[in-house]
Amino acid sequence: MTEPPTARDADPVPHEDRLDYTPLARSVTLARRRTARLVTEWGHPALAGDVALVVSELMTNALLHGSLRDRLIRVRITVAGVTLRVEVSDPRGERLPSPCSVGDTDQFGRGLLLVGALAHRWGWEPRSVGKTVHAEWVLGPDPAVGNPLVGVRE
C-alpha cells in the first residue's frame, strides 16, 4: 500500500480563499459553486465534487443551527502542503456539531455522517465568538488514498 505524501513531497504553492455569506438558503448554493470552481482551478478536479458537497453540508448546518440574524457565516478554503482544508465558521458556539443516529426513513440528520465519509478527517474548534467546523483531505496522486470508505462494498 502506498503511503500518503508528506509535506516535503508536496508542491509548496499555497492557496487560500475566504468569503463571508449572509445566513440565507441561497448562500449554500453560492458557497458550493465557488468551492467547486476554486478546487478545480487549484488543480484538484477529482476532489472538487466531494469538497463542494462537504461545504454545502457544513453551510447548511451553520445556517440551520449556528446562524444569528445580522451575523455572517464565513467559508475558508486552503491548500497548504499536502492538505486541502475547508472551514465554516458561525456565531453560535453553544450549538456544537455532533453526528446523529438516524433511522432508514429519517429525512434529516446525515450531514455530518456524509462529511465524515467524504473527508479524511473533520472536527471543530471554539472561537472567541462562535465555532469553526473543518474538514480536511490529504492531497496526493490518488484522492482515495487514506479514505477508509473507498472500495468498501455494502
Residue 57, pLDDT above cutoff 90: yes
Mean pLDDT, range 88-114, rounded to an integer: 74
Span 40-49, pLDDT tens digits? 999 999 999 9
Provide CB contacts within 8 A for 1, sequence distance 6+.
Answer: none
**Complete edge-to-edge strand list for the sheet that includes strand 83-90:** 15-21, 73-80, 83-90, 131-138, 121-126
* Mean pLDDT value across residues 108-125: 86
Amino acid, res. 58: L
Cβ atoms < 10 Å from Cβ of 151 = 7
Contact by Cβ (8 Å): 130, 66: yes
Task: List, as own/partner pairs, every contact residues 43-50 make where C-beta atoms lie below 8 angstroms and the sequence separation is at least 24, other chains included.
Answer: 44/79, 44/84, 44/139, 44/143, 46/143, 47/84, 47/137, 47/139, 47/143, 50/118, 50/119, 50/137, 50/143
Cell matching residue 47: 476532489
Check pLDDT > 50 for residue 151: no
The pTM of this model reads 0.78
Q: Residues near 81 by Cβ (< 8 Å), separated by ≥ 6?
A: 7, 10, 12
What's the pLDDT score for residue 7?
Answer: 46
pLDDT greater than 80 at residue 98 = no
Question: What is the mean predicted confidence (pLDDT) over 22-35?
Answer: 96
pLDDT at residue 94, as a whole number: 82
Residues 119, 112: contact at Cβ < 8 Å?
Answer: no
Residue 29 clears pLDDT 60, i.e. is over it: yes
- As a whole number, mean pLDDT of residues 68-95 equals 92
Average pLDDT, the chain: 83
pLDDT at 73: 95
